[in-house]
Structure 1
Amino acid sequence: MTVNDSALLQAELEASAASLVAGQQPSWPDAAAVRTAVETLSAYPPLVFAGECDLLRDRMASAARGEAFVLQGGDCAETFVAATADNIRDRIKTILQMAAVLTYGASVPVVKIGRMGGQYAKPRSTGTETRDGVELPAYRGDMVNDFAFEASARTPDPNRLVRAYHASSATLNLVRAFTMGGFADLRHVHDWNKGFVANAANQKYDKLAHDIDMAMKFMAACGADFDAMRTVEFFAAHEALILDYERPMTRIDSRTGLAYDTSAHFVWVGERTRDLDGAHIDFVSRIQNPIGVKVSANAEPDQLLKLLDKIDPDRVPGRVTFITRMGAQTIRTALPSIVEQVTEAGAQVTWICDPMHGNTFSSTTGYKTRNFDDVVDEVRGFFEVHRALGTVPGGIHVELTGNDVTECLGGSEKILDADLEKRYESVCDPRLNHQQSLELAFLVAEMLGE
């Protein structure tokens, strides 16, 4: 893409959005600084490539047909300080371990997508936060401002857009090294999972782990090419929220002349920004990446069909994913009519379950948390609905970390309300820790095998 191509594309994107409402955007105090940041990002190399996005679209199409299963996992909100080699490694390790178990349960390839390398912005229910009578701008993620409750920290700073690019670049470079350099070898991953089951609290999953072990030995006996299993495909995803970051990262592919958001392979639009006539839907309708749309119990099928008409008028398989987030108590009643009407309209979407966001509540000790049993139950309800309708449950979308945090209640470790304060490290929503994530994978594998 030439400089002129880039300038024309940015001008077109800005012009298209000039009359549209863009929700959840920062109130930047310095317009000149925003322009400088946008110009800087426009000149930087892409973080991902168009051909990789096309490959992921094909993989998502396979999941829509039941020929693959999607695992999206990672931080609720990445932070600059946590973008360390150890944290990135442990997150990748967790996702790889989950994927190995799910692959066996589903008997199809697992599409591995990390909520990482760009998940530096979060929508907020209110624009400000008040503590002890002091009102400051809400924390909108490290891409915008800092979590510290101080006026200087909470002031939106467009220089953070550039910092987010560099943090994302470093993260994705390390992800590629881990997934292509032998760290992801299936034999290593299987050994890690054997360590998980060896824990007394997890021995109830011993039979499934034993079956996987027998399958590995069978492959070895048959002369399976384990060298071919030393590397894995791994894709990056985040919410396309801050348009002053996503627009300058959008480029024209020299092969096709089409626009791609090169900040990630897969981007999604959240519940708060999927307004049909808003700037976010307009933006994603203009790029070729596979697109996700979060869908709550309040979503109206007619509105979703209109969104499909705008984002995917040609009904390209793998182009659109509906990520349902409804809550364990609601999914069995709210999801069926949505799936039925979308299916009857002939839309070819990939259905993925986000069992996290609909199950958040405040604990008695004041922490924002989730109960592991609710997470599992929502996934179970998701499978029940799709099996009853004869449609395909295409994957799960989970907020997780590779660390031993105490942010979600329950699981085999039996994290209690009183335990939350021990290692509550999230700056936004609570995440499943390493053990809870693996336990979820074993339970979902059982569901896939039913």
Structure 2
Amino acid sequence: MRTTEKPLSSYQAAREWTPDSWRDRPITQQPVWPDENRLRGVLDELALLPPLVFPGEINELRSELARVADGRAFLLQAGDCAERFSSCNESKVRSKLRVILQLAILLTYGSGLPVVKVGRIAGQFGKPRSSPVELVDGVELPVFRGDIVNDPAPTVAARQPDAERLLRAYHHSSATLNVLRALTKEGFADLSQVHSWNQEFVCRCPAGQQYESAAQDITWALRFMAACGADVTADRPSALTQTNLYTSHEALLPDYEQALTRHRPRTGTWYGTSAHMLWIGDRTRDLDGAHVELMSGLANPIGVKVGPTITPDDLVALCDRLDPHHVSGRLVLISRMGADRVGDLLPPLVRAVELTGRRVVWACDPMHGNTFRSASGYKTRRLADITREIGEFFRVHRSEGTMPGGVHLELTGDDVTECLGGADEVLDTHLCERYETACDPRLNASQSIELAFRVAELLREHHGG
């Protein structure tokens, strides 16, 4: 049974939520800033800067996610594991957007469903870590927590948290958003460019050749529409020439998120304006913790990583805390169980949430539960395991009569060798050749395209195509 939606602002007022009420809660995964005065000065400066995204855009994403929850669209959330400041240039942003567009068009082409595109981009600069320190050549150093906190260079000075990096993160996010908005509105996303999205190194592989075949079919379909009198060349409809790409990142640093929280007086609603969608990680989803408290009062769509240690009661309690009024499109529950465990662990969680009557988006993160260290010493993942976890995710939802709403991928448009497998067969001995990630291994462009074809097949099967 669906409940009547209520504005998030009424919940905020009832709970006396404020943007800084998280400060009274226990908190984890935070750097130790060496200069508190400088930190406060940076946060005051951030609070005066313009929002990176706007309430109207955030509300649009929530509406699109409501369609996903109903099974009328599919969520593709994808991008870097940890963005680097050095990658915030036009070429790198174009490369990331290109592969996201390729995956989205393949999912739509293969399933007939519109795809809601959310990038791990323009703000994914922080990373939770399993330990605050690490050994590098026998020397104990503070762990690298992402460019928003410190530098990965293996020296004590580089690993020192630096509050100035919060400002740098804002400005790099702003620059990235400028490029994204230009590319998505000024022709790069035009379906007539579908062939040009394929990069040379991808074209040579089987996945790239299969993509080219699909692109040819799309081109012929556009010509057919034109021949039937639908003018898709002169006065092109915006649906064929433009696209929306929303941004997201893990809200790991509440100090930064609070500084970019803005109030909309007309509705009495608070928005996190650092990204359209924010998510809470599996390590920071403590029901009474600071991260959940801050996210509970924002009107953004909120993601929650759902790992193997969560219980059905835990998950329902989180849903009640973050979505007390059953707002459709509000919650994205991102399963990250591992290919061997998802079939056993996911069903009771799906059932428990279904009994609450909520329309949530269930998405599959097949990356984080399938990470291991290879014989050569590199942290890696197998494409076969990633594909298998997604397949199990779809099987569970088919069995439960619920909607498999999306996938959450770590990928890059570059020709890296970080994940094993694929038609090009990246082997353990290849990992050292182009292992470029700042943290976790990513799918390269050809592996991503190969995966997209499989996900499209699963979607078509689930929707009876």
- 1:299 and 1:180 map into 2 onto residues whose CA distance is 41
Return closer, same or farther for 1:86/1:206 CA change in 2, 3 Å cut-off: closer
Change (3 A) 1:171 1:333: same
Deviations 1:67-104 (A, max 9, x none): 01010110000011121211100000100011001012
Distance 1:190 1:220 in 2: 18
**Structure 1 counterpart of 2:9:** none
Q: Does 1:156 align with 2:167?
A: no
Q: Which residue of 1 aligns with 2:288?
A: 277
Matching of residue 310 in structure 1 with residue 316 in structure 2: no
Distance 2:32 2:22 in 1: 17
Aligned residues: percent identity? 53
Q: Secondary structure at the match of 1:120?
A: coil
Deviations 1:117-141 (A, max 9, x none): 0000000000111223321211000
Q: How does 1:270-419 map to 2 (within 5 A)?
A: 270-419=281-430
Length-normalised TM-score, structure 1: 0.94
| Structure 2 unmatched ranges of 5 or more | 1-16
* Aligned pairs (5 A) from 1:25-424: 25-190=30-195, 192=197, 199=204, 201-202=206-207, 203=209, 212-226=218-232, 227-228=236-237, 229-424=240-435
TM-aligned CA deviation for residue 206 of structure 1: 7.5
CA distance in 2, matches of 1:88, 1:448: 28
Q: Distance in 2 between matches of 1:446 and 1:213?
A: 21
Q: Distance in 1 between matches of 2:211 and 2:175?
A: 36
RMSD over equivalenced CA pairs, Å? 1.8
Partner of 1:8: none
Structure 2 Cα separation of the partners of residues 432 and 352 of structure 1? 18
Q: Is the 8 A contact 1:197 1:209 kept in 2?
A: no
Deviations 1:305-328 (A, max 9, x none): 111111110000000010001111
Distance (Å, rounded) in 2 between the aligned partners of 1:336 and 1:99: 27
Greater Cα shift, 249-258 or 91-100: 249-258
Bigger Cα displacement from structure 2, 201-210 vs 94-103: 201-210
**Are the structure 2 counterparts of residues 196 and 335 from structure 1 closer, same or farther at C-alpha, using a change threshold of 3 Å?**
farther
TM superposition shift of 1:199:
3.7
The answer to whether the 8 A contact 1:197-1:205 is kept is no
Q: How many residues align structurally?
A: 439
1:156-199 CA distance string (max 9 Å, x none): 00110000000000001100000000010012125545989864
Distance 2:274 2:22 in 1: 19
3-state DSSP of counterpart to 1:77: coil
Shifted more, 207-216 versus 223-232: the winner is: 207-216
Question: Are the equivalent residues in 2 in contact too, given 1:194–1:209 (CA < 8 A)?
Answer: no
Name which of 24, 44, 49 aligns with 2:29.
24
User: CA distance change for structure 1 residues 185 and 376 in 2, over 3 Å: closer, same or farther?
Assistant: same
Cα 1:136/1:385, change in 2 over 3 Å: same
Of 15, 19, 41, which residue of structure 2 is paired with 1:13? Answer: 19
More deviation in 201-210 or 325-334? 201-210
On the 8 A contact 1:97/1:190 being kept in 2, the answer is: no
Q: Give the 3-state SS of the residue equivalent to 1:113 in structure 2.
A: strand
